[in-house]
Structure 1
């Protein structure tokens, strides 16, 4: 059950990033989608969606690898004083 919940939590940012890539692609082909009033706004939101989606996924992997102890020295958490 825990793995299913983790999969769903990772699936949502993945879908968000894929939608962001679609928005940026449609902007490059000069296709304005319905809820967006301008191409520049569509491209900006697409970029934001991609950064948030990939950033969440990368943070999840970094946190998991820190727990396992498989990250390089510079990515280890420093002990609190």
Structure 2
């Protein structure tokens, strides 16, 4: 494994863990388990939803960028010049 592939893997693991923690926060809210930095359940749920969305968004953008660079996306996802 080259250092570039290893770096790409590390870049994807961090937002993956953030998204996983967001799912955990939302699950804990559903079962009414309050986690430390939060004092209100709905705030904990919103923070979890934000972490999930940001993590998945980053991973999706990273994959889209690499696939565009390698020419492996459908025509509607190609970046338009302009």
With normalisation by structure 2, the TM-score equals: 0.94
> Are residues 1:58 and 2:55 paired?
no
Q: CA RMSD in A?
A: 0.7
Question: What is the count of residue pairs matched by the alignment?
Answer: 80
- Structure 1, unmatched stretches of 5+, are none
- Structure 2, unmatched stretches of 5+, are none
Separation (CA, whole Å) in 2 of partners of 1:67 and 1:33: 41
The alignment partner of 2:73 has SS state of: coil
With normalisation by structure 1, the TM-score equals: 0.95
